[in-house]
Amino acid sequence: MTKDECLKKIARDFLIAQAGLEYEERIITNRNFAGSLFLSNSDVTNLRAKKAVIDSLIQTFAKEIFSLSKKKEQEKYLPIGTAEEKIRRLESHISTLSDGECGNVLTKLLNEINPILDVEANSENRRDHAEYMDDSGKRSALKVHSFNDGWFFTFLSKLVQKIQETIGMKTSEEKLLEHSVQEAESSLSL
């Protein structure tokens, strides 16, 4: 896989994860506000913390891509809209980058992700905003399992979430970061 293909795939994966977290945040916030017996403010805070980490990583590499892009200044932003619109925008900017520039973006992304993956999670450092979290707080935020709104009863979903956390299953966001690191490292070694 070339560096620009790798960067496009990572961008796509992150933006799809972000869209899923935005949907999940709406569901949990609304159900908590409506008075669900099994959801609390801490569930909302935990999800917002996880979303903040993903948002922060997206902003980091999008900013780097836009700064290197050869497109017009007016096009250097992520549109408000669907994940597909954001993906198209980023991919069009990535297409203007040289192989070396894509490598630089991948290296900077690795420098952001690796410290998060290399520390032990500490839930006391988890916050609603990524800029207020250290790497252990970010890791802790990524370890919070998603709430599955497909379950008919909220308590069943909450039970599954607690079981997943107790047995140490990795969340999709943790897998996303680890997979992105593997792809970026293999792309950079070519």
pLDDT over 90 (residue 132) = no
Q: How confident is the model at residue 46 (pLDDT cuts 50, 70, 90)?
A: confident
73 phi and psi, to 5 degrees? -55, -35
pLDDT over 70 (residue 156) = no
Q: Which runs of E-coded beta strand occur in 31-100?
A: none
| Cβ atoms 18, 51 nearer than 8 A | yes
pLDDT over 70 (residue 183) = yes
Measured at the alpha carbon of residue 173, what is the angle toward residues 167 and 174, in degrees to the nearest 5? 55
Please report the DSSP string for 140-156 in residue order: HHHTSPPP-TTSSSHHH
* pLDDT one-digit tens code per residue, 71-129: 877 777 888 889 999 999 999 999 999 999 999 999 999 999 999 888 887 777 777 77
| Cβ atoms 24, 149 nearer than 8 A | yes
Distance CA 85, CA 30 (A): 26
Check residue 157 and give its pLDDT.
65
Check residue 47 and give its pLDDT.
85
Q: Write the single-letter amino acid at 32.
A: N
Provide the residue ranges of all domains of the chain, joining segments of one domain with +.
Answer: 3-188
Q: How close are the terminal C-alpha atoms of the chain, in Å?
A: 9
Distance CA 124, CA 70 (A): 42
Q: What is the pTM of this model?
A: 0.80
Q: Which tokens belong to 174?
A: 């943790």
